[in-house]
Amino acid sequence: MTAWCLLIPLCRQTQKGSTPYKVIPVATGQLTEKEELIQNLLAQVVEQFSRVFKINELKTEVANHLAMLEKRVELEGLKVAEIEKCKSDIKKMRDEMAARNSRTNCPCKYSFLDENKKLIPRRDVPSYPKYILSQETIEALRKPTFDVWLWEPNEMLSCLEHMYHDLGLVKDFKINPIILKRWLLCIHDNYRNNPFHNFRHCFCVTQMMYSMISLCSLQVKLPQTDILMLMTASVCHDLDHPGYNNTYQINAQTELAVRYNDISPLENHHCAVAFQIFAQPECNIFSNIDQEQFKRIRQGMITLILATDMARHAEILDSFKEILDNFDYSNEEHVTQLKMVLIKCCDISNEVRPMEVAEPWVDCLLEEYFMQSDREKSEGLPVAPFMDRDKVTKPTAQIGFLKFVLIPMFEIITKLFPVVEEVLLQPLWESRDRYEQLKQIDDTMKELQKKKNESLASEGRENTIMDTKIL
């Protein structure tokens, strides 16, 4: 009997082993050998069809799965970015906590220079590369307009090294060049990463001193010993500064304030750290000078670094004014007074520089001030208005400082060195005028905002009255 078969498509099956086609016999009976062969052939065709459709289904399924994976990868990528940002934020918080702890524990609050390991010099030949300064850089380095923001720490170290060679200090005092390198590296390692009082500030002050030595022809007027004192005191003048000023040290009765009886605790600490470094033979740039000369240099450096305490500003300036009319370079006391004023000028000379170089320093200083005032508030200590983030603005901070501190001091120096007026004093006048204009703009904006707020408040009251009447 002939057996007919139908190839009937079925609905898509999801169970394993199902096929989209099935063979259904139409007529039944005893199959002949030929019919059985045909049926087997048909079964094989069905199987081939099924495989084809399974492959297409598999392709579709794989495509869908890939699309889903791509979406997941995209989402995971976003998660990874968020995770990395979180990690970065956590690291910043940890760094800030570590910085706060270091400020709390050393030397600001309890201990005196806990991190003694910083004072251990590098006994190998220092690793920072020897930069060959271009002639353009060498000439720029002698000018107050030098942009101190363009240089990496290694480059600043090389510039400092160049200054000592250029001034003849290495030759005249038989300073071992390798020891000079080690000393500079140790100096760098003992400046903290504060917003303002950091190694770049050290470089900035020293570079300004180098500029003034050139500008005022001080090497013609002063002996090399005084030049060495001025340069080395500038390098060391803020060593291991904790980022909190003397007022905080004294009010919080920190270990430094107790140690130095509230008398210039930070400046005394800077001196102590400087000479702890010199006590290391590998860092002693004075090793080839006799004991008497070293004593004079040491005493001179201490006098200069202590002079950077702004609490003594009026006292130092008044003393210098008294001798100015009869200034005598052969008088040791007169020269000491001059050196004290010179290092003070260099220490607070940022506004002498071009605006694009000077202004970032104001932001750095305000950031450090605000960190201190926040801490003072949290500890219940007095807060200076010029350091309070709720009261001070950049123009108000700078106008008073320029008018009552910087300009009068540089005007006095101008009497002894007339060349200073055009190069150093003129930029200060221009900076004062610019900040006064900014203050006027700020005051105008505040007044407009105040009137706007009053107008809105008045309208609000009128609307309230109208609403009340209607009710």
Closest CA to 35 of 160, 138, 26: 26
Give φ, ψ of 22 to 5 degrees: -145, 145
Q: How large is the angle between the packed helices 407-416 and 313-324, nearest 10 degrees?
A: 30
* Active-site position among 162, 197, 269, 270: 197
Q: Tell me, yes or no, if 197 is annotated catalytic.
A: yes
Tokens at residue 149, please? Answer: 């923001």
CA 136 – CA 363 distance, rounded (Å): 29
User: 417 and 216 in contact (C-beta within 8 Å)?
Assistant: yes
3-state secondary structure the chain: CCCCEEEEECCCCCCCCCCCEEEEECCCCCCCHHHHHHHHHHHHHHHHHHHHHHHHHHHHHHHHHHHHHHHHHHHHHHHHHHHHHHHHHHHHHHHHHHHHHHHHHCCCCCCCCCCHHHHCCCCCCCCCCCCCCCHHHHHHHCCCCCCHHHCCHHHHHHHHHHHHHHCCHHHHCCCCHHHHHHHHHHHHHCCCCCCCCCHHHHHHHHHHHHHHHHHCCHHHHCCHHHHHHHHHHHHHCCCCCCCCCHHHHHHCCCHHHHHCCCCCHHHHHHHHHHHHHHCCHHHCCCCCCCHHHHHHHHHHHHHHHHCCCHHHHHHHHHHHHHHHCCCCCCCHHHHHHHHHHHHHHHHCCHHHCCHHHHHHHHHHHHHHHHHHHHHHHHHCCCCCHHHCCCCCCHHHHHHHHHHHHHHHHHHHHHHHCCCHHHHHHHHHHHHHHHHHHHHHHHHHHHHHHHHHHHHHHHHHHHHHHHHHHHC
User: 122 and 185 in contact (C-beta within 8 Å)?
Assistant: yes
Q: Give 349's contacts (C-beta < 8 A, 6+ positions apart).
A: 144, 204, 205, 208, 424
Catalytic residues: 197
